[in-house]
Structure 1
Amino acid sequence: MHRPHPPPAGLRTVTGPLEPARVRGPVLAHEHLALDLSRDADRAAVLGAAHRDSVTGELAALREEYGLSLVIELTCRGMGRDARALAEVSDRSGVAVVAATGWYYEPFHPREVNGTSVEELARLLTLEIENGLDSTAVLPGVIGEVGSHGDLPSEPEARTLTAAAHAASATGLSLATHAQLGRGGLRQLELLTRAGLAPHRVSIGHQDLLDAPAVHRELAAAGAYVAFDTVGKENYQSDEVRLRLLCALLEAGHADRVLLSCDVSRHGYLLAEGGKGYGHLFRSFLPRVRAAGADEDLVDLLTRRNPLRFLAAASAEEL
């Protein structure tokens, strides 16, 4: 394994390095712009070439209307990642995109995970981080969304999470998780920190699907980011409940630990197909957050400064 070293200077986007100070508008902290999670029972979990114009058009419109500056794209190995498509979307939309590496939760693990040691898995991730994704020169800027399902990671999930932590330590990148339906986040954080990763370099995913304010407070108090990243997915959780959970975490003094996004992961979520799109956070949810008492500085913290600090693996004082 490589010896740990500081985080890379600036942000790594699919079109090259970017200084955090140049990101003046909001960031979507967990999205998908190109993926394929289709299985026999779920053929709609795709964002492919046929949807590229719709994806690009949405991002460009959000840049114009709301100043959208950056998308953290958490499609990783086994999820149909397409680095060339991400570079195309970023270039055409004018929105910076950060790509990812890692392994999703067990049902989507590729064969390469089977029986492979933590050390070898970490080496595979480190090679992608150093050399580029999908036979391109596109460098990932984050590890994620590395996943588990249930209250405890399965044995393969424990290996991939541990390997991701080792790769994060070796390369300086931060790490975002997939906690299926919000469950198991505390165990994820325990495993990652036991493997040597500092909590402030970890975002625990899908916590807005878990109606457990005490868990959110515990994660935030430990120093991890708490991702409310499925905003608008009302078939899983209502935005009314999301707002209540968010307000509870803010009132507990943890505004600097929150990340927000919509997790568009099916073509049916796109505006062109009648969905709420990537902009639901800006059009619908943030107005409700403001109505609940948030001022513009707090909104900027939630939507810009927090995700930038997470990506840069920085403390609150550094950005």
Structure 2
Amino acid sequence: MDSVDLQVLATAQRWAREGRRFAWVTVAHTWGSAPRPPGAWLVVREDGLVEGSVSGGCIEDDLIARMREGRLGVERPFPLVYGVTKEEAERVGLPCGGKLEVVVEPCPDPVMLDELAARLAARQLVVKHVDLTSGRTTLSEAQRGDALRWNGERLITVHGPQWRLLIVGAGQISRYLAQMALALDYAVTVCDPREEYSPGWDVPGTKLVTTMPDDCLLEMKPDAHCAVVALTHDPKLDDMVLLEALRSPAFYVGAVGSRFNNEKRRERLMSHFDFSPEELQRLHGPVGLPIGSHTPPEIAVSILAEMVAVRNGVSQPRWSAAPATASDALACSIA
């Protein structure tokens, strides 16, 4: 399952091969309430067809009108600002107080598009530089920690898997979780030394590792853009990676299992490995939001939803303390 960025890029490549005229639009900056974050992409064709999104549809309508009228057909990249006044915000449909600035590239270079696609297909981090003064767009290698920058003349955006996910276990839940995480542009590594599981792993775009999970995590050098989810329900594998993950900067650490088994796990970690209650508070177990999930794809949805909430700094909803459901027990048998 491709991320939204890859879908936009693939469409731009296809239009370029067909000789169609189109513009590339990137959200450069937002103020107040805005529907899409900085870095979001959209391409709009001369006949008004679009792929991607820079708002909830309001800005898209204006861009389509401009494209059809030939007002996006200049040679150099240029900025557009929406919602400067209350009247302007109401005209284009932005939420109250919202303001949005985009950079329009009227004629993207097909060679640049192909190079960007090749780098992203190789799971590389890429920086895209758009210089409004010279009109040039260039690509370079990015470093972890690079971020979007915009000063009114130069737009720098970062593309590729800026977030990483280590999944321990190559079972059913892992298969769905990996595909969903790819759609959110995670670099997904699946680790499973068990010969009964790893040979059958075939999710495109993921990396399979058959070493011990704790060694795999140490090799990854986890940082604050890394998540670790243990799904084997085997303490010999899950507990060992949790030992490293809970003391790492990883922003999310989760383990499958019932509430009873996760409490036993916490007791083991405290009694045998000197973990403090504060350190163990980082462990999400049972993993995922309690949405009444029963099937592997439902459990994967709950895990990814909790990862998104933690990543965005959203407090757990009040119903997160709901009593145990059948999925707690079922997760043990289908992991």
TM-score of the superposed pair, with normalisation by structure 1: 0.32
- Structure (1/2) with the larger strand percentage: 2
Q: Determine which structure has more spread, i.e. the larger CA radius of gyration.
A: 2
The structure with more helix, counted as a fraction of residues: 1
Larger relative contact order (C-alpha < 8 A, sep ≥ 6)?
1
